[in-house]
Amino acid sequence: MQPAEMTPPPPPRRVCVTGAGGFIGSWLVKLLLSRGYAVHATVRDPDDPKNAFLKQLDEAPGNLHLFKADVFDYDTLTAAFAGCEGVFHAATPVPEHKTVDPEKEMMAPAVKGTTNVLKACSAASVRKLVVVSSIAAVCFNPSWPHDRLRDETCWSDKEFCRENENWYCLAKTEAEEIALEYAEKNGLHVVTVCPALVFGPLLQTVLLNTSSKALLYIMNGGPDIMNNKFFPIVDVRDVADALLIVYDEAGPSERYICAQDQMDMKDLVDLMKNMYPNYSYSFKMVDVDMRVEMTTEKLKNLGWSPRKLEETLADSVETYKKAGFVDDEPCRLPHIYRMPDAQE
């Protein structure tokens, strides 16, 4: 018998992250590598310089494996999932511009893409799938009582989304529904997480994702009118933590809201002005009657402990400055955060 000290260490746990080059995906990859996982990271183009930063992450040389995969291409997904005990599905476009062809730009990548991921998980005998949904799949429900906090039983009303041409919300709602239905029917352990508006520092060096562009717009200003909506916000690092916590702790077919600070956009702007008085902040804001207060107790009960918004904002601004995104030039607000009626 070999002495105990000669026993080789067990192989690392192996998981896959789709959309690994994205804002949330990349922070999740970093977290998983730091916890000793071997990570299969899917990107659409491994040779694109925008994905090079992934290879520089700590532990990447030994434990990160990049896979070229598109959510429309089932075979590329099964290849990436092979040998993985779990999958985190973050790959969905978050549109920056007005959606022209909702089916092609939003519905297909979210719904068909998630369906392919689900089937590929079954084919590759993946044990657990965590789907990154959104509060977009929670918020848009006009029937929800005004005086009741939204919790995981609240779903966006798909007809209401369609009537208001809110294609991102419709797509996220449908994709999350499909994931939970598939889980029930096929016995796959699926958990969904619904993050709020995500800010935080960037790992990416050449790209700014859509939600970060909203914060940059607040700083630089520009011609677009912003909705003064009451909005939940969360730090990207806390989203990554939440995804790993639910992976380890949550039961099958569970849904988790992932939101920390909740405030009017105007209060967020005031907080930014206090912290950074020298930026432009020159844009218009229009009040809209939309309060979407929600509870994150379910996730906190699993041990999730998010950081303070001030830290999120400070770390976001620091990385925007370092990447050269803050230039005092007016910019554009991504379409989904604009006040469309007032402008079109």
Nearest-approach distance from CB 167 to ligand NAP, in angstroms: 12
Contact yes or no for 191/249 (Cβ under 8 A): no
Nearest-approach distance from CB 41 to ligand NAP, in angstroms: 10
Contact yes or no for 301/192 (Cβ under 8 A): no
Nearest-approach distance from CB 259 to ligand NAP, in angstroms: 10
* Identified catalytic residue from 30, 128, 158, 172: 172
- For ligand NAP, the closer of residues 94 and 250 by Cβ is 94
Q: Is 298 a catalytic residue?
A: no
CB neighbourhood size of 14 (10 A): 18
| Residues 122, 108: Cα–Cα separation, whole Å | 20
- For ligand NAP, the closer of residues 12 and 65 by Cβ is 65
| Residues 265, 267: Cα–Cα separation, whole Å | 5
| Residues 131, 118: Cα–Cα separation, whole Å | 10
- For ligand NAP, the closer of residues 173 and 211 by Cβ is 211
Interface residues with ligand NAP (CB under 6 A) are 19, 21-25, 43-44, 70-72, 90-94, 109, 113, 132, 134, 172, 195, 197-198, 209, 211
Pick from 158, 179, 177, 178: which is nearest to 169 by CA? 158
3-state secondary structure of 61: helix
| Residues 155, 187: Cα–Cα separation, whole Å | 23
| Residues 293, 158: Cα–Cα separation, whole Å | 19
At residue 42, φ and ψ (nearest 5 deg) are -95, 135
- For ligand NAP, the closer of residues 23 and 81 by Cβ is 23
Tokens of 281: 């902040």
Nearest-approach distance from CB 133 to ligand NAP, in angstroms: 7
Amino acid, res. 83 = G
Task: Give the H/E segment covering residue 232.
Answer: strand 230-235
Nearest-approach distance from CB 265 to ligand NAP, in angstroms: 14
Pick from 121, 150, 118: which is nearest to 137 by CA? 150
Nearest-approach distance from CB 110 to ligand NAP, in angstroms: 8
Task: Give the residue numbers annotated as catalytic, written as ranges.
Answer: 172
